[in-house]
Structure 1
């Protein structure tokens, strides 16, 4: 399966770099379209995908965003329609393509219908090109407003969810607000936050994919020892940015940079709303740690036992390396 998807993944990465390095709107649009065409086979070929509905939905949303983007770019090229309203409409098309609030309505349902590995690409690689275009071409007021709104929507939207995919989708919207803020401040923070976030997402999605877990209730059926449950638990807490886990470090650096740039009010609001995300992460942690009767005796996924305890103990000797240890264990 990986061999089949590898060419499309390479094309996605190359088209993303093409869009980021583009010096004209036409080249950026070409990169976005190549990226779209490469993502559709990935949505279809990923393991566990039973219908082409996610690919069709993704194509329609991205095609709508691309067509509106081209239309408003052509309007901006004419002196008659070159005004702030046209710039705002152009930003709306990029917001739609990236799934940033307030045009995030398609993203949770898209994640819900996709396989776990397709969710990883949708939450990570596919976000870089459109948000880079947003930050480099749109006013800073729109960027900061979208970042704050994404944090608010992602924090509140995941509170009453029981689907693990929707929880990860709203968590991705929250992190997307932080990524926008980091890219608005400087490129170093953007790269560091993205690398950390990608590792955390893969560390969580990989075991959930192996176990075929879709709902919060299924977590109570895991037949495993406390060490492996703790490994998954720490990954979720790290995703929430709880110190001293690895996910806390990039958030701390972004907060410090925002305070140095006289953005204390925005950073305070983002921190307060991000604390709400810990509620549904802690809900998952409580479900993992408490021994409750299983809701469904017939669907009881199991986690294989650790075959090499010394390697795992060394890998998890540092609290910040729990996501890396999870990746190593579930990959081999």
Structure 2
């Protein structure tokens, strides 16, 4: 099979943060990635910016440079359009390609809110675009192993689960200028729509969705100072994004989950009390329990992947606790942590297995957006 020809949107040499560079390029420029994919075009804010990125990242000189989403959408050579921009420009940059019927891979969040995400999903159904969304936690080997344990009946039927999650950074009263948009709900990219949403998504991938839930939010530090690290200038702003979310719900009953099983998730931006593990997830079954923990917080789909993430299983009858082994694929090991699960999504797409594996498409993303919007608004 010939390599899939990719157009990347958002690979910038001047961006404050570049998920394209840290999350996508590690796989795409690896030997495995280059055998399966070929970057043939970039779309940036201007054609000139795209050319600078091509040079800065050492891409072949024949990679095309685009400055408008409409021009990219007309390129018949592109098999897959990958959007990695800031979330508030996902809609405008990807819509022309979806309208043209191209296959697209859009990073999470899909759009600023559920309404706009729904518009993209409806358009994709009309044009026949094959879609994929970067909820890459579903492809984490930790999550794959947990699903296997639950479905194999390792702890019997699930009766409850509880999660406590803190983020290693943030939680203070200041923010860098480059990330100031995290404090504005309307932008759509913030700790709740990103960190919390990724976490609740991979939890649901293991346990199934809520039948019903309620949530409580708090903005503990609304007054924020924005710091421009280049000029040392500061300004004040008010955040309207919660930095604490507590969700309580009842899971849908299934072959592996008992009727009435509870899921409780407590998420807070910022580190925990010293000496406290920032991420602990306990799944209780009628025959045993599973505990997953990580010293780098809930980001098991990205940065925390570089740290130990032990899975422990307890048998209630015997009281025995055992370590459950899991492992990265050999080709994932050399990649930086943030690119390993993204690479798994690319692999599943190339092999035509992303639907059977449960990788999120636009319709699944809309469902998650609706859940997050119900918490934020």
- TM-score between the two structures when normalised by the length of structure 1: 0.31
- TM-score between the two structures when normalised by the length of structure 2: 0.28
| Structure with bigger RCO (C-alpha 8 Å, 6+ apart) | 2
